[in-house]
């Protein structure tokens, strides 16, 4: 140790490193890392054993199975706050369970006042949950003076068919006794809460699933001025909420809200989410992430398509689409994905439309509505575009919406696409002539080519078509391993002035297709 550079670090620097290790969720668990670190040398052991907060940060009951060891770790935490993590009842490979319910529930009862973080996901047979649920609900109603983040899920509905009420919390449940002055993150979609609870005013992040309670959530949001992240997930059993009950509800302005993530079915839940999103007024520049399921039979109802278009319009308003600096579009048989970078290098807004059945296809009318709604004049000055099409059928490229959308990007010099999209672009170029991408000089293929006939040949044909329509392509990039470089020699043979590179041109908005 004496010869290691780390040995000259101060105690403060070492403690900071140890603390960062406690926040990692990798394997081995951070608890095991801390135990092993405390056994490296006497000086490290003394430092770690004299830092109760380190031990409080790694309290993983799924790792502390041995009772004596668990009690020793509790002793080491001293009077510090505790971050608790456990998956009680979850089966392990050997057929036993990770952690017994009694261990977790007793720990909650004995240490509730010290808990800073709670991450609990229960799994059980109906009989076991029924035995412990009352104790769980009771402890959750105690005041939580130090609680910072709370993640909780009770068992799923499997096994509770005879009496599903056993899963639901009791009526009148008062979470945290309405007192949790340090709570910032609430991730417990199944738990009802008082929409006027004082702890709502401190929240930064909220996860919610009960669509039938969306109007109540809207009222509760009026008491969350600091909220930054809102996650709404589709319910297993969506319920209609009468339109008349939405009418008197106000618009809610959330000046700190920068991320809105929603997942819903356009047929079953679109109207409820539309009523909610119409009234939600986030900060001036928000980064929504919408995931919409649109099954094949939904487009037969014109109202579903109308609702879908309004959802797209709300998305465009939320993210400030007219201020976008980079666009990423992927069109597939079964889904459509759109990502946009708006005046930022870190925050991305995205919208995904797909079908639940992987063997089904997304109706072209949804794709066409998407392309028509997202035409923006700001795209005309955009220098980069990422656009890939993976579809077995060719009907979409015969629609005017695809051509009109691509014609918006008159200033792009850099196109990112996929080898599988080459045939598609070749046909578009032949139809549009030199009016498409007149300034384009660099093409980056985000994957492949892994085989000449499947990938490299379409790319060659694409480049040939570009040159034939007056597009002097200067550079092509392939994101392929060096051992596949043999394929690029064919490009150099046919296009000697073309610069062919392996790897990415530069970091930019992208994803794996």
With respect to residue 293, please indicate whether it lies within any of the assigned structural domains.
yes
Other CB atoms within 10 A of residue 299 CB: 19
First to last CA, the chain: 47
What's the rounded Cα separation, in Å, for the pair 56 and 50?
A: 12
Query: What are φ and ψ of residue 384, in 5° steps?
Result: -130, 145
Angle at 254 between CA 253 and CA 256, to 5 degrees: 150
Convert the pLDDT of each residue in 99-141 to its tens digit.
788 888 999 999 999 999 999 888 776 677 888 889 999 999 9
Residues 296 and 366 in one domain: yes
Residues 346 and 418 in one domain: no
Two tokens, residue 393: 């059928």
Ramachandran area for residue 355 (φ above 0: left; ψ -120 to 50: alpha; else beta): beta
What's the rounded Cα separation, in Å, for the pair 186 and 140?
A: 13
Torsion of CA 366, 372, 376, 377, to 10 degrees: 160
Q: What is the DSSP string of 382-426?
A: --EEEEEEE-S--SGGGSHHHHHHHHT-TT--EEEE-GGGHHHHH
Residues 304 and 372 in one domain: yes
Check residues 512 and 199 and name the one with the higher pLDDT: 199
- Last residue within a domain, chosen from 327, 361, 378: 378
Residues 301 and 345 in one domain: yes
Residues 417 and 513 in one domain: yes
**Domain tally for the chain?**
2
What's the rounded Cα separation, in Å, for the pair 136 and 1?
A: 47
Check residues 295 and 281 and name the one with the higher pLDDT: 281
- Asked if residue 16 lies in contact with residue 51, where contact means CB atoms within 8 angstroms, the answer is no
* Residue 9: pLDDT over 50: yes
Residues 371 and 433 in one domain: no
What's the rounded Cα separation, in Å, for the pair 319 and 290?
A: 11
Burial class (CB in 10 A: 0-12, 13-18, 19+), 178: middle
What's the rounded Cα separation, in Å, for the pair 376 and 8?
A: 58
Convert the pLDDT of each residue in 413-422 to its tens digit.
888 888 778 7
Handedness of CA 362, 367, 373, 376 (dihedral sign): positive
What's the rounded Cα separation, in Å, for the pair 57 and 438?
A: 57
- Asked if residue 196 lies in contact with residue 217, where contact means CB atoms within 8 angstroms, the answer is no
SS3 category, 152: strand
Rg (CA), the chain: 28
What's the rounded Cα separation, in Å, for the pair 250 and 223?
A: 13
Short-list 92, 66, 99, 70, CA closest to 82: 70
Check residues 19 and 295 and name the one with the higher pLDDT: 295
With respect to residue 284, please indicate whether it lies within any of the assigned structural domains.
no
Q: What is the DSSP string of 232-278?
A: E---SS-----HHHHTTPPPEE-TT--EEEEEEETTTTHHHHHHHHH
Convert the pLDDT of each residue in 398-412 to its tens digit.
677 888 888 888 888
With respect to residue 367, please indicate whether it lies within any of the assigned structural domains.
yes
- Last residue within a domain, chosen from 378, 405, 434: 378
* Averaged pLDDT for residues 190-198: 86
Residues 425 and 502 in one domain: yes
Convert the pLDDT of each residue in 423-482 to its tens digit.
777 777 666 655 778 888 888 887 655 555 566 777 788 788 778 877 778 888 877 655
As a residue count, the chain comes to 513
Residues 374 and 435 in one domain: no
What's the rounded Cα separation, in Å, for the pair 9 and 178?
A: 45
Mean pLDDT of the chain: 78
Domain that holds residue 435: 413-513
Do the strands 335-342 and 348-354 form a parallel or antiparallel pair, or are they unpaired? antiparallel
% helix, strand, coil for the chain, step of 5: 40, 20, 40
With respect to residue 255, please indicate whether it lies within any of the assigned structural domains.
no
Residues 446 and 369 in one domain: no
Res 378: pLDDT: 80
Check residues 81 and 267 and name the one with the higher pLDDT: 81
Residues 426 and 373 in one domain: no
Convert the pLDDT of each residue in 201-242 to its tens digit.
999 999 876 655 788 888 899 999 999 999 987 655 555 666
With respect to residue 236, please indicate whether it lies within any of the assigned structural domains.
no
What's the rounded Cα separation, in Å, for the pair 9 and 17?
A: 10
SS3 category, 470: coil
Residues 419 and 342 in one domain: no
Two tokens, residue 188: 């417990």
With respect to residue 36, please indicate whether it lies within any of the assigned structural domains.
no
Res 382: pLDDT: 86
Beta-carbon-side half-sphere exposure of residue 432 (alpha carbons within 13 Å): 26
Convert the pLDDT of each residue in 228-278 to its tens digit.
999 987 655 555 666 667 778 889 999 999 999 998 887 777 888 888 999
With respect to residue 331, please indicate whether it lies within any of the assigned structural domains.
yes
Residues 334 and 424 in one domain: no
pLDDT band at 94 (very low <50, low <70, confident <90, very high): very low
Mean pLDDT lowest for which of 33-37, 74-78, 85-89?
A: 33-37
* Averaged pLDDT for residues 477-505: 72
Q: Which residues of 434-479 form beta strands (DSSP E)?
A: 442-445, 475-478
What's the rounded Cα separation, in Å, for the pair 138 and 147?
A: 16
SS (H, E, C) 281-293: ECCCCCEEEEEEE
With respect to residue 438, please indicate whether it lies within any of the assigned structural domains.
yes
Angle at 327 between CA 323 and CA 332, to 5 degrees: 145
- Asked if residue 213 lies in contact with residue 242, where contact means CB atoms within 8 angstroms, the answer is no
Any residues with CB less than 8 A from the CB of 113 and at least 6 apart, and which? 142, 143, 144, 145, 146
- Last residue within a domain, chosen from 352, 378, 404: 378
Res 450: pLDDT: 53
């Amino acid at each position: 140790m004496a010869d290691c550079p780390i040995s000259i670090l101060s105690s403060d620097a070492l403690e900071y490193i140890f603390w960062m290790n406690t926040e990692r969720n990798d394997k081995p668990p951070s608890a095991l890392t801390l135990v092993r670190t405390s056994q490296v040398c006497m000086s490290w052991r003394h430092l770690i054993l004299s830092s109760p907060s380190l031990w409080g940060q790694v309290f993983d009951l799924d790792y502390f199975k041995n009772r004596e060891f668990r009690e020793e770790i509790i002793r080491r935490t001293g009077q510090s706050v505790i971050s608790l993590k456990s998956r009680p009842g979850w089966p392990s490979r050997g057929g036993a369970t990770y952690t017994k319910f009694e261990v977790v529930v007793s720990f909650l009862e004995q240490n509730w006042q010290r808990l800073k973080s709670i991450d609990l996901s229960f799994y059980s047979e109906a009989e076991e949950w029924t035995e412990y649920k009352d104790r769980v609900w009771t402890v959750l109603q105690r005041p939580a003076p130090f609680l910072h983040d709370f993640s909780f899920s009770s068992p799923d509905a499997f096994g509770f068919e005879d009496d599903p009420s056993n899963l639901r919390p009791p009526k009148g449940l008062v979470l945290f006794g309405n007192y949790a002055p340090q709570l910032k993150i609430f991730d417990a979609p199944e738990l009802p809460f008082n929409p006027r609870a004082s702890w709502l005013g401190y929240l930064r992040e909220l996860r919610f699933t009960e669509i039938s309670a969306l109007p109540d959530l809207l009222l509760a949001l009026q008491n969350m001025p600091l909220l930054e992240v809102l996650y709404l997930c589709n319910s297993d059993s969506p319920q209609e909420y009468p339109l008349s009950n939405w009418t008197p509800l106000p618009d809610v302005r959330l000046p700190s809200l920068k991320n809105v993530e929603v997942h819903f079915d356009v047929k079953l839940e679109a109207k409820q989410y539309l009523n909610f999103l119409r009234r939600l007024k986030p900060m001036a520049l928000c980064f929504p992430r919408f995931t919409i399921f649109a099954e094949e039979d939904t487009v037969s109802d014109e109202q579903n398509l109308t609702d879908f278009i309004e959802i797209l319009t709300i998305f465009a308003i939320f993210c400030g689409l007219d201020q976008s600096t980079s666009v990423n579009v992927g069109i597939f048989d079964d889904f459509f994905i759109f990502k946009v970078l708006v005046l930022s290098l870190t925050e991305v807004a995205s919208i995904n439309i797909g079908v639940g059945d992987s063997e089904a296809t997304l109706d072209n009318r949804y794709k066409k509505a998407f392309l028509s709604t997202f035409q923006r004049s700001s795209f005309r000055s955009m220098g980069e575009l990422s656009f890939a099409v993976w579809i077995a059928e060719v009907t979409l490229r015969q629609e005017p919406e695809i051509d009109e959308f691509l014609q918006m990007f008159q200033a792009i010099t850099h196109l990112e696409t996929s080898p599988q999209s080459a045939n598609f672009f070749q046909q578009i170029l032949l139809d549009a002539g030199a009016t498409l991408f007149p300034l384009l000089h660099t093409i980056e293929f985000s994957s492949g080519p892994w085989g000449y006939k499947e990938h490299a040949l379409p790319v060659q044909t694409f480049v040939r078509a570009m040159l034939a329509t007056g597009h002097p392509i200067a550079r092509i990039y392939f994101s392929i391993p060096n051992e596949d470089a043999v394929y690029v020699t064919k490009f150099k043979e046919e296009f000697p002035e073309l610069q062919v590179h392996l790897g990415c041109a530069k970091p930019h908005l992208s994803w794996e297709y």
